[in-house]
């Protein structure tokens, strides 16, 4: 295996000619400088940048295209891809590839930054993606994967795209340690993607933190969803999904912490909901979900639902800072059950303008009456064993 050097005084003065000369398994080392885009890689090589050389698409074309297995690209600034409303033009596009490694690159001002299509066993790690999206229709996603499997997307920083990370028909993949913020739509977006895990990611001030849609078996662990705010905004939107697990996530200062619309058989355990507008908003079409050992602190509304009769979800052994019961037998659980839906939450579901009455004297009186003589709460929505202390 050989090493081919690219620089202004070297045998190879541009990247394309070095790649054409390289054989399978060779390494192409590119020294610092500015180089033209439109690079196509069709053989297994390693492309290594020294001093972060710049590859520029000049706003006209796809900067790098990979159509081979076992390709590694590390250490570049990849910028200024073209833009198209009919084609997914990207800073770096990988097609029909196995075992690629895309690591320690910086993507600036691309339509799609990194686009993966029919790839498997690829590692996307420690890249920086910064876009300048102004509208959803005129921007692509930061890291976009379609019809792929066994991906590892770790420790990337993504900002200013349509979706930070978008997965469609992706399975058996891990999304870990990424920071996704200030994206127009979602920080992370699953569509028709099963058997995936995302953990220890940070979603801050996106249009919504994460959307999980039309998928199943998604593990969501130790993520932070913070300040995803707006009139119809969510830390986590869960729509038409099933059989998921949420463990030790933090939902802080979002309009909605979690929003369940057609979410079934999902377990919520040891999550923190703090200072959200709604901690949990759960629609009647969501069934057999189980909430335990979660902490609900400082939220305007702990739980809200649009049903007064049919409710098949279970709240058991959670902590609520609004709980006013006692623990005479000192077993750690309140002796009285807790109804986490307030009078105002019920009223708002039917009459949104009633939110103007929030924290009014009238609302406080009605809330107190509802606690002791529940007339509007769904009878099945109560926590029989509220925790006296945060878990």
Q: What angle do CA 272, 274, 275 make, to 5 degrees?
A: 165
Q: Convert the pLDDT of each residue in 72-90 to its tens digit.
A: 999 999 999 998 877 889 9
CA–CA separation, 230 and 254 (whole Å): 8
pLDDT per residue as tens digits for the range 334-375: 999 998 876 666 656 665 655 555 565 555 555 555 565 555
- Among 20-29, 261-270, 290-299, 304-313, the minimum mean pLDDT is found in 304-313
> What pLDDT is recorded for position 18?
96
When the pLDDT of each residue in the chain is averaged and rounded to a whole number, the result is 91
Q: What sign for the dihedral angle of Cα 343, 346, 351, 356?
A: positive
Band (307; pLDDT cuts 50, 70, 90): confident
Mean pLDDT in residue range 218-246: 92
Is the model's pLDDT at 2 over the cut of 60?
yes
Average pLDDT over residues 279-302: 94
Q: Which of 126, 198, 206 is nearest to 159 (CA)?
A: 206
Looking at residue 351, what is its pLDDT?
59
Q: Decide if 144 contacts 164 (C-beta within 8 A).
A: no
Main-chain dihedrals φ then ψ at residue 258, nearest 5 degrees: -125, 145
Nearest to 158 by CA among 136, 184, 138, 134: 184
What mean pLDDT comes out for the span 291-304? 94
Residue 373's CB is within 10 A of a number of other CB atoms, namely: 7
Strand-pair category, 278-282 with 250-252: unpaired
Average pLDDT over residues 158-173: 97
User: Quick one: pLDDT at residue 364?
Assistant: 59
Tokens of residue 91, six digits: 């800073």
Q: Nearest-CA neighbor of 105 among 70, 130, 88?
A: 130
Summarize the confidence of residues 104-108 as an average pLDDT. Answer: 98
Whole-number Å distance between alpha carbons of 56 and 36: 5
Q: Which of 217, 213, 212, 127 shows the shortest CA–CA distance to 177?
A: 127
pLDDT at 226: 95
Give pLDDT tens digits for 318-328: 999 999 889 99
SS (H, E, C) the chain: CCEEEECCCCCECCHHHHHHHCCCCCEEEECCCEEECCEEECCCCEEEECCCCEEECCCCCCCEEECCCCCEEECCEEECCCCCCCCCCEEEEEEEEECCEEECCEEECCCEEEEEEEEECCEEECCEEECCCCCHHHCCCCEEEEEEECCEEECCEEECCCCCEEEEEEECCEEECCEEECCCCEEEEEECCCCEEEECCEEECCCEEEEEECCECEEEECCEEECCCCCCCCCEEEEEEECCEEECCEEECCCEEEEEEEEECCEEECCEEECCCEEEEECCCCCCCEEECCEEECCCEEEEECCCCCCCCEECCCEECCCCCCCCCCCCECCCCECCCCHHHHHHHHCHHHHHHCCCHHHHHHHHHHHHCCCCCCCCCCECCCECCCC
Distance CA 297, CA 250 (A): 11
- Per-residue pLDDT tens for 271-280? 999 999 899 9
């Amino acid at each position: 295996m050989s090493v081919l050097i690219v620089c202004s005084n070297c045998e190879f003065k541009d990247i394309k000619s070095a790649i054409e000369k390289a054989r399978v398994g060779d390494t192409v080392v590119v020294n610092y400088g500015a180089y033209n885009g439109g690079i196509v890689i069709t053989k297994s090589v390693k492309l290594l940048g020294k001093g972060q050389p710049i590859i520029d698409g000049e706003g006209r074309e796809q900067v790098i295209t990979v159509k081979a297995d076992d390709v590694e690209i590390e250490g570049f600034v990849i910028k200024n891809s073209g833009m198209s409303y009919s084609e997914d033009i990207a800073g770096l596009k990988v097609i029909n590839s196995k075992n690629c490694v895309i690591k320690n690159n910086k993507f600036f001002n691309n339509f799609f930054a990194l686009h993966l299509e029919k790839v498997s066993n690829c590692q996307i790690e420690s890249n920086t993606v910064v876009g300048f999206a102004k509208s959803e229709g005129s921007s692509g996603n930061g890291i976009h994967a379609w019809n792929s499997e066994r991906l590892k997307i770790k420790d990337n920083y993504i900002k200013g795209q349509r979706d930070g990370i978008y997965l469609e028909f992706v399975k058996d993949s891990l999304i870990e340690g990424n920071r996704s913020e200030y994206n127009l739509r979602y920080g992370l977006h699953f569509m028709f993607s099963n058997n995936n895990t995302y953990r220890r990611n940070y979603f801050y001030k996106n249009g919504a933190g994460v959307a999980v849609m039309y998928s199943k078996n998604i593990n969501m662990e130790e993520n932070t969803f913070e300040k995803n705010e707006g009139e119809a905004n969510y830390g986590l939107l869960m729509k038409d999904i099933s059989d998921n697990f949420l463990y030790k996530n933090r939902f802080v200062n979002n309009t909605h912490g979690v929003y369940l619309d057609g979410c079934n058989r999902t377990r919520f355990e040891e999550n923190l909901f703090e200072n959200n507008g709604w901690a949990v908003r759960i629609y009647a079409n969501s069934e057999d979900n189980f909430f335990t050992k979660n902490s609900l602190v400082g939220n305007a509304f702990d739980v809200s639902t649009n049903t007064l009769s049919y409710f098949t979800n279970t709240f058991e052994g959670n902590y609520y800072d609004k709980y006013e019961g006692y623990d005479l037998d000192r077993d750690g659980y309140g002796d009285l059950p807790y109804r986490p839906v307030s009078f105002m939450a019920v009223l708002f579901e039917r009459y949104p303008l009633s939110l103007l009455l929030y924290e009014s004297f009238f609302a406080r009186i009605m809330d107190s009456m509802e606690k002791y003589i529940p007339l509007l709460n769904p009878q099945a929505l109560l926590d029989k064993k509220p925790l006296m202390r945060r878990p």
